[in-house]
Structure 1
Amino acid sequence: MSKSCQGLFVEFVKCLRESDCMKASVEHRSVTECAKVSEECAGLRYTFFRCKHGQIDPRTRIKGNKGY
C-alpha cells in the first residue's frame, strides 16, 4: 500500500473498531459488512476509496496523491 493512503486506512480501521456495528455485533457481522453498513465511517470510506483510485489515475500519478 502506498504511504499516501496509509493514514486514511489507519483512521478508517480505527473508526470501524469503535463503530456500533462492531461493538454490538449480535449477528456476528464481518468487517466487510460493517464497513458497508456503518454510517459513522462513510466519509472515511469514501475518502480512502478516492485516495486508492488516485493512485491508478494517470492524471494524479504524475503529481502524486494529495496525501493525508
Structure 2
Amino acid sequence: MVLKYTEEEAELEDHSPCATLKAELKMCVLETDCCKIEKKTPRECLRSYNVPQDCIALRNAFFECKRSFLDNRQRFRGRKMLF
C-alpha cells in the first residue's frame, strides 16, 4: 500500500474497494506508541489490543468490508458503506 503525494492531495495507488479502510487502519496503528516506542509490529499491537479504540473500530470496519465480498446477498444489494 503506497500513498502517492501530489500537490493537491494524497491518493492511493491501490483502487480496490477496501483500500481506503486498509490505509487508514495502517496509518492509525503505525502512529500508536506500541509501534513507535515499543517497536512492535502492527500485527502484534492489534492482536494485543494495545491500540486506541479508533484503530479497533477501523479494523472491524475493514473486516466487514472484506467479509461483504463473500456474502452472496451483498452481491445483489451492493457493498455497505461503513463510513
What TM-score do the two structures reach when normalised by structure 2?
Answer: 0.66
How far off its partner does 1:31 sit? 1.9
Q: 4+ residue runs of structure 1 moved beyond 6 angstroms? A: none
**How many correspondences in the alignment?**
66
Q: Which residue of 1 aligns with 2:44?
A: 33
Cα distance between partner residues in 1 of 2:35 and 2:58: 16
- How large is the RMSD of aligned CA atoms in angstroms? 2.0
The 1:43–1:19 alpha-carbon spacing in structure 2 relative to 1, beyond 3 Å, is same
How far off its partner does 1:55 sit? 0.9
**More strand per residue: 1 or 2?**
2
Q: Which has the higher contact order (CA 8 A, sep 6+)?
A: 1
What whole-Å deviation, never above 9, does each CA across 1:40-66 have from its counterpart, x for those lacking one? Answer: 411000100011001111111223323
Larger Rg: 2
Identity between Structure 1 and Structure 2 (%): 33
What TM-score do the two structures reach when normalised by structure 1?
Answer: 0.78
In structure 2, which of residues 3, 17, 21 is the aligned counterpart of residue 8 of structure 1?
A: 21
Structure 1 residue ranges without an equivalent (≥5): none
Letter in 1 for 2:75: R
Letter in 1 for 2:59: R
Cα distance between partner residues in 2 of 1:30 and 1:17: 9
